Amino acid sequence: MTKKRKKRRAAPNRLLWIVLFVIAGIVTSKFITPAAGESTKYSCELAVPAFTTTPAKSQIIEHIGYIVSYNSSTKNPNWVGYELTDEEVQGVVGREANFTCDPMVKGAQAIDYDYKNSGWDRGHMAPAADMKWSKQAMEESFYLTNVSPQNQKLNRGVWKKLEELTRNRAELYGSVIVISGPIFNGTGQKSIGENRVKIPDAFFKVLLTDYNEKYRAIGFICKNEAEKKRLKEYAMSIDDVEEITGLDFFTQLPDEVECEVECSFSAPFWGLQ
């Protein structure tokens, strides 16, 4: 389930080396060029869900640490996906970035001032603590395409616990696919700021891991309000999350595997008591 490429053997002669170098440049050209000292992280297909109906004014943006489907109408991500590995959890890059606009957005987007004095947190979908493995990844996690207006107590309570659970499982099982995003239930959404950033009604997070050659998954949905329930009470099957969000997760898996993975979940496997 890893994205990182295996090292090539040394070329037997100079001409072959040049050919391989050119080919490698073509293959990797669609990915963002890392800053000095950075290593490119390739995208993970399993982190990209499919829409039942694709929202208008949406675009896919790939950063070094995550992929986002951004919605210029709601000024929120539709979803944010990435793979978190056990090695990445051990990263040491500090949280020193500021929230900024995403330079890759085509069209309208939120600005940091929209959140000022709004009473709503800038809730990360791909948390900064999952991006400590790279300075570039850390900085890009603070793009406003990766955040939504989130209840302060949710962001600093249940949502934070879900993020900690994710890192714990990545360390334990080697890697975890993570997809998160906001949920909008109606048409009369409240908003904040001059750019009218829509306030979500709830948030989802789904996790998938391949442990001992067996895929396992779990989903969570949290209302965008202050709640103090156990994480287990937010848990549900992937099928249930799909029904609520209109997203189709893990379509790259064989149909029989996808069906088995998405219809149920094991709370103990995910550390839920």
Q: Which residues are catalytic?
A: 124
Going 188 to 192 to 193 to 195, the CA torsion angle's sign is negative
Q: Rounded to the nearest 5°, which phi and psi values hold at 248?
A: -115, 110
Number of helices (H), then strands (E), belonging to the chain: the values are: 7, 13
Q: SS3 of 266, please? A: coil
Tally the residues of the chain.
273
Token code pair at residue 103: 């330079």
Distances from the Cα of 119 to the Cαs of 22, 114, 149, 153, in angstroms? 52, 11, 9, 11
DSSP tag of 132: T
Whole-angstrom Cα distance, residue 100 to residue 200? 20
Whole-angstrom Cα distance, residue 38 to residue 152? 33
Token code pair at residue 253: 């898996």
Whether 65 and 109 have beta carbons less than 8 Å apart is answered as no
Residues 6+ apart with CB under 8 A from 38: 64, 134, 135, 136
Distances from the Cα of 261 to the Cαs of 15, 38, 238, in angstroms? 48, 35, 8
